[in-house]
Each structure stands twice: as structure tokens, then as C-alpha cells.
Amino acid sequence: MSLSSRPEIKSALVPQFNDFPPDIRLIVWEYCISLPRVVVLTHEPIKTPVNSVDDIWAFRSQTPVPDILFVNRESYHIATRFYEHTFINGYREGTHTLAETWFDFKRDILYLPQQHIAAELSGFLSSLPQSAHGNQDIGGFDRVENLALPIRWLPNFPRTSDGDMHKPLTRLLGTFGGVKKSLFYSWSRSATPLYRE
């Protein structure tokens, strides 16, 4: 899995593709679904509203969007069985931003490189309004199954007054209620990721 930009893809014209039976085309489109990706999510200011001193912040990702979403309607229909637009920012009046990140909750790995996201995420998400059914809408974060965090955070991770980081770390991981695998990366060339399933 790479954080770099997507490789150059050569176009192959197959004019007879539309003549294939739908079942065969379905198999081809499913085969074209990307391998699991590392989706790097950052939290950045996008604008300052008029008559306000506070910026509007958005969750953004520079991770390339899977090409299959843009081939045609049929490929889009298949791809959206796997990928969803997710990670919205909230609903406070004047601050709602759209979900901008395509993510496969079962296979993709969400990587949060910025420490301030981890430090503030659970508090931010808990402030989002309840849905009409009384459930908390936390923008898809609770459905992430694979989460990666930089290990360099741990010495500086927020701690309780007695110096314990167990509660803040538990609170952060609890925000991601669906996590099945968490990875802590050191990002040195010789290091391997540390897993916890």
C-alpha cells in the first residue's frame, strides 16, 4: 500500500465490452476494485465565514480516488458497493461541510497523521447533533475497521492529571467503535508496523 500518487494507467479500448453479458461485465468491474488503500485524513481550515473569527474546518484526503468510480455508470454502481463518501464535519449552522473522502470501511486503512485530530476528535464528534432517531451521527468514523496512528504521538498524547494516557487513548479508540485492527507506525525505513487485532 502506497501513500504516493496513483500509477499511470494506459487506456485499453475494448469496443465489444458492452456486448458482454451483464454477469461477465460485473465480474470484470469487481476485479477492477482497488486493493486496500491507506487513506490519509487531514483536518484543515477551508474558509472563514463572514462576520466570524472562526475558520470552518474540513476533513480532507489527498489519497487518490479509485479510478473505477469515474469510468461509467455501470462501474460507478459497482464501485459504490465498496466505497462511500464519508467523514463529514458537522451540522452547526453555517459550518456544515460535505463528505469529501471516498472510503471502503471494510478494507481501507484510515491514517490520521495530525496529532490534533486524535486529541480533539472524540470531543468534536460527541458534540455533533443527534439524528432524528436519537442516534449520534459521527460522520462515518464509527464504521472504520482499520485505523493507523503514528507511534511518535504516544509520548505527547494527552494525559489525565495523574499522567495516565490510558483514558484519552481509550476514548479516542472508542470513537472508532468499529475498529478491528489498529496499526501504530514509526515510519522509519526499516520499521515494520505494529499490529493489534
- What are the structural domain ranges in the chain? 37-64+83-196
pLDDT (tens digit per residue) in 107-148: 999 988 766 665 566 555 555 544 444 455 567 888 899 998
pLDDT (tens digit per residue) in 35-78: 999 998 887 777 665 666 666 667 788 899 999 999 999 999 99
* Contact assessment for residue 173 and residue 154, using Cβ atoms and an 8 Å cutoff: no
Phi and psi torsions of 157, nearest 5°? -65, 145
* Contact assessment for residue 149 and residue 156, using Cβ atoms and an 8 Å cutoff: no
Cell of 108: 481501507
Q: What is the pLDDT of residue 17?
A: 84
* Contact assessment for residue 175 and residue 166, using Cβ atoms and an 8 Å cutoff: no
pLDDT beyond 70 at 83: yes
